[in-house]
Structure 1
Amino acid sequence: MQAYVYKSIRKPDTYVFLAARDDFERVPESVRLPLGTLQFVMELAVTPERKLARSDAQVVRTNLAARGYHLQMPPTMSDPMTSDWGTDG
């Protein structure tokens, strides 16, 4: 399955995968507007065995088939002060 990947200019580390190139009409306006301008990054084949940096290939394939797009958000950062550092006696 081919995917066309676009990055958000307004939201760092946020990407939209489309099933058809430049088919932004598939992305709901409530999702599309906060992202601002989307810049084309690459075209890639999303196969079941393909390793993606921040998304599961099967989830991407399912979303592309069902909705025509997949939204990849930036990773969440956990608060380092909430972790047990093992320093308490």
Structure 2
Amino acid sequence: MTPTPLLCQIYKSPRQEEMFLYVDRTRGLDVVPQALLEGFGPPQSIMMMIMTPERTLARVDTARVIEALKEKGYYLQMPPGGDARTRDQAFDVSGGADDQSA
């Protein structure tokens, strides 16, 4: 199934360089878990964009962002570095392990 376009608000973290929070504009920050926001810091809006499968983002797969926005309403882009498993992944603080062993 091809992801459909949606309006996305992007915030940067004041606490961590190159950490960004993508939020479905129609759902707003209310869907972002409080624990995530506390670690992220007060979100600083940097831009709004229409997310489409054809759009290219610098360090993250656009389809992953779109799917996370549809499912959770948000996507946390981690700073570069570290291992591929933790970098640029959808962040889930709702409990439950998100172990995707391959």
TM superposition score category, shorter chain reference: 0.7 to 0.9
With a CA cutoff of 8 Å and minimum separation of 6, indicate the structure with the bigger relative contact order: 1
Question: Once superposed, what is the RMSD of the aligned Cα atoms?
Answer: 1.7
Q: 1:32: Cα distance to partner? A: 1.1
Larger Rg: 1
**TM-score normalised by length of structure 2:** 0.70
Q: Give unmatched runs, 5+ long, in structure 1.
A: 79-89
**TM-score normalised by length of structure 1:** 0.80
Please give the per-residue CA displacement for 1:28-69, whole angstroms capped at 9, x wherever unaligned: 112110111111000111110110011100000000000000
Mean Cα deviation higher: 50-59 or 23-32: 23-32
Q: Give unmatched runs, 5+ long, in structure 2.
A: 1-5, 84-102
CA distance in 2, matches of 1:7, 1:21: 19
Size of the aligned set, in residue pairs, is 78
Structure 1 residue runs of 4+, over 3 Å off? Answer: none
- 1:32-47 equivalences under 5 Å are 32-47=37-52
- 1:63-74 equivalences under 5 Å are 63-74=68-79
User: Hey, which of these two has a bigger chunk of helix by percent?
Assistant: 1
